[in-house]
């Protein structure tokens, strides 16, 4: 017997080093439906999403966090659909804030907000118990073993705790906003955790010989030649977060 089909998605066409094949806007629900992470602003993209929702009687726009590649289309889409924008408190455009444990109803099952900081401080995933799945936003990507974690002080510890929190949900499938589904959720969570812990160890080892080093001093030692063009600034922010994490742990 085969399991249920994956949820439908519409790609935003914004492929890049951080977005992989672009933002995937997932739809859950038939007549009472939500669109998760509508993606970047753009008239053509918004029109495509509106057309996709033409058969829904009750629409909701649902955000995991406020980065433009996830949320910029939300206000225009909400106006076109006469739909609320549901998401973390303080994200621009959100009209109905939700927090950890809040439920968003669809006719294909409830979506439960799970606070998963790390990528951003207010990041939410949405647990879909009916399908033993979770919509992960940018907590994980559909390819590789890393996502960007460098937004604020304490983000590395938060990120590791968020992976553990999603692991405790015991889901089978993870739907990232970028890249294909992760159909072995436990293995994916282990892989992303292992990568982050490797980076922590690399920074610890680098600081053992150069205790006063800053992020620019360590960029080559940690990343070598593996950085794609245009990602150096993000890598430096990630390194700053790792340095803060390692030094804070040592002081603690």
Q: In the beta sheet, which residues pair with residue 24?
A: 11
CA distance 193 to 197: 6
Q: What six digits make up the tokens of 119?
A: 């990528």
**217 among known catalytic residues:** no
Residue keyed to tokens 């017997």: 1
Which of the residues 37, 69, 138, 151 is marked catalytic?
Answer: 69
Contact (Cβ atoms closer than 8 angstroms) between residue 91 and residue 60: no
Contact (Cβ atoms closer than 8 angstroms) between residue 217 and residue 209: no
| Residues designated catalytic | 69
């Amino acid at each position: 017997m085969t399991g249920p089909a994956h949820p439908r998605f519409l790609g935003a066409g914004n492929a890049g080093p951080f977005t992989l094949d672009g933002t995937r806007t997932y739809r859950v629900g038939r007549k009472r439906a939500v669109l998760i992470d509508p993606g970047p602003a753009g008239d053509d993209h918004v029109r495509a999403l509106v057309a996709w929702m033409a058969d829904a009687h009750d629409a909701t726009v649902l955000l995991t966090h406020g980065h433009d590649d996830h949320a910029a289309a939300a206000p225009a889409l909400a106006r076109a659909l006469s739909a609320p924008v549901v998401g973390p408190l303080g994200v621009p455009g959100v009209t109905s804030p939700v927090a950890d444990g809040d439920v968003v109803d669809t006719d294909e099952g409830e979506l439960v907000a799970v606070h998963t900081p790390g990528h951003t401080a207010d990041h939410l995933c949405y647990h879909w118990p009916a399908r033993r799945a979770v919509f992960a936003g940018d907590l994980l990507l559909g390819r590789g073993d890393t996502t960007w974690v460098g937004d604020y002080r304490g983000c590395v510890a938060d990120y590791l705790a968020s992976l553990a929190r999603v692991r405790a949900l015991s889901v089978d499938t993870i739907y990232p906003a970028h890249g294909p589904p992760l159909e072995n959720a436990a293995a994916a969570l282990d892989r992303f955790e292992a990568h982050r812990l490797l980076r922590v160890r690399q920074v610890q080892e680098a600081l053992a010989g150069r205790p006063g080093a800053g992020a620019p001093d360590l960029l080559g030692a940690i990343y070598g030649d593996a950085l794609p063009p245009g990602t150096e600034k993000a890598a430096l922010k990630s390194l700053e977060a790792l340095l803060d994490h390692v030094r804070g742990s040592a002081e603690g």
